[in-house]
Amino acid sequence: MVHSQYRISTKLVEELHQVFGGFHPGYRDVHANGRYYAGTFRATPEAKNLSRAVHLQGDPVPVTVRHSNSRSGNPMGPATTASMAVRFYLPDGTTTDLVSLPISLFFARTPEETLGFLQAVRPDPATGQPDPDKVTLFLESRPWIAHAVQLAKGLSATVSFAQTAFHMLHAFRFVNEDGHATYARYHWEPEAGVAGQTLEELQKQPPSHLFDEYELRLQKAPVVFNLVLQLAGDGDKLDDPNAPWPDDRRRVHIGRLEITRPTTNEEIGDSVMMHDPTRLTDGIEPTDDPILAARRGIYEVSVAYRTGGWKGRQAALELGGCPFLGNAK
């Protein structure tokens, strides 16, 4: 089981290198260009009705945020989108992470399907672009992926990280002090409201523009995001980040995040900062979502690559394979 999970993780990470034009040592395989910020999270009184998690009881909790400005693994590439990874520093010295994107549904239902999707959109070496026939054929036989791709294409490009809504996509099980469980999906809603622009407009600016704009804002006032839980209703799929839930599901405001200033890996004291959506704390549990379950392994492989561990893998492959890596190609 562990073997097969790591085999698919390695294949996914290496396919991302193909899709995004190679591996860039030292950088994440996706969302490579990022900066860190610091702030404070405070839960609303409603939060503790849903979960006994320590950071949802109302006391202020320090957080760090990593925003990135593109989906690619090329840290020098143009800005294309936005992401937001938040780490909460809990009173007992542990941490828990929320990792989010502007898309409202993930592209696939399983890691295997994600690999198939990445293989279908991998650029053709002759043209540098995905083969449109291959993409069409793939999407025609998988309308649920085509739907998520359509939704993602309909999203405007980012104007500001502070004016982007971010979604965690997976459902989690929230358990309160009485043991009562509620299934829900998280969303970060920007207090400044949501705004967008065309990709051409975004790319007229220098690649560092979204970070520079954010840091100018922070000099004037904190950037605020509200944390909202969308509660699952009857029949909503709990194990599928590709499955839409009806828009009218009840939403509960469970907290307010105030981001106040830039920070660095050095100040945080963690040079790796692997954000892991399954690093949870008592009162919040994972669902049986296979993408959620795979993410720790995928991110560990990415960390091995970006911190130099890939050299061991290359050496093992040159020697004819290694049992732990399962000869993944």
Return the closest-CA partner of residue 258 out of 35, 41, 37.
41
φ, ψ of residue 142 to 5 degrees: the values are: -135, 75
- The residue annotated as part of the active site, out of 3, 24, 31, 187, is 31
Residue 287 near ligand HEM by CB under 6 A: no
Residues in Cβ contact with 196 at an 8 Å cutoff, skipping those fewer than 6 apart:
155, 156, 157, 158, 159
| Nearest approach, Cβ of residue 255 and ligand HEM (Å) | 18
Please select the residue that binds ligand HEM; options are 298, 310, 313, 328, rule is CB under 6 A. Answer: 298
Token pair 């190609």 is found at 329
Query: Is 263 in contact with 34 (CB distance < 8 Å)?
Result: no
How many binding residues for ligand HEM (CB under 6 A)? 32
In this complex, which beta carbon is closest to ligand HEM, that of residue 29 or of residue 240?
Answer: 29
Q: 76 φ, ψ to 5°?
A: -100, 0
Using rule CB under 6 A, residue 240 touches ligand HEM: no
Eight-class DSSP state of 167: E
Residues 23-62 that bind ligand HEM (CB under 6 A): 28-31, 34
Q: Does 294 bind ligand HEM (CB under 6 A)?
A: yes
Task: Retrieve residue 270's tokens.
Answer: 């963690």
Examine the residue annotation and report whether 31 is marked as an active-site residue of this protein.
Answer: yes
The contact mask relative to ligand HEM for 305-324 (x = CB under 6 A, - = no) is -x------------------
- Please state the closest distance from residue 226 (CB atom) to ligand HEM, in A: 18
Task: Tell me the closest approach of the beta carbon of residue 153 to ligand HEM, in angstroms.
Answer: 17
Q: Should residue 96 be labelled a site residue for ligand HEM when binding is judged by CB under 6 A?
A: no
Q: Output the CA torsion sign for 47, 48, 52, 54.
A: positive
| 91 vs 265 by CB, closer to ligand HEM | 265
Q: Is 280 in the site for ligand HEM (CB under 6 A)?
A: no
User: Contact 261/37 with Cβ under 8 angstroms?
Assistant: yes
Nearer to ligand HEM, 49 or 155 (CB): 155
Residue 254 binding ligand HEM, by CB under 6 A: no
Segment interacting with ligand HEM (CB under 6 A) among 43-51, 98-106, 175-183, 189-197: 98-106
One residue of 169, 184, 228, 257 binding ligand HEM per CB under 6 A: 169
Helices (H) and strands (E) in the chain, counts: 10, 11
Between CA 286 and CA 288 the distance in angstroms is 7
Kindly indicate which of the ranges 12-20, 130-138, 152-160, 310-318 contains the residues binding ligand HEM, using the contact rule CB under 6 A.
12-20
Least Å distance between CB 175 and ligand HEM? Answer: 21
Distance CA 182, CA 175 (A): 7
Q: Rounded CA gap, 242 and 144, in Å?
A: 7
295 binds ligand HEM (CB under 6 A): yes
The DSSP string of 212-271 is HHHHHHHHHS-EEEEEEEEE--TT--SS-TTS---TTS-EEEEEEEEEEEEE-HHHHT-S
Q: Does 290 bind ligand HEM (CB under 6 A)?
A: no
Residues of this chain that interact with ligand HEM (CB under 6 A) are: 12-13, 16, 28-31, 34, 66, 68, 83, 85, 99-101, 106, 111, 114, 168-169, 241, 273-275, 291, 294-295, 298-299, 302-303, 306
Catalytic residues: 31
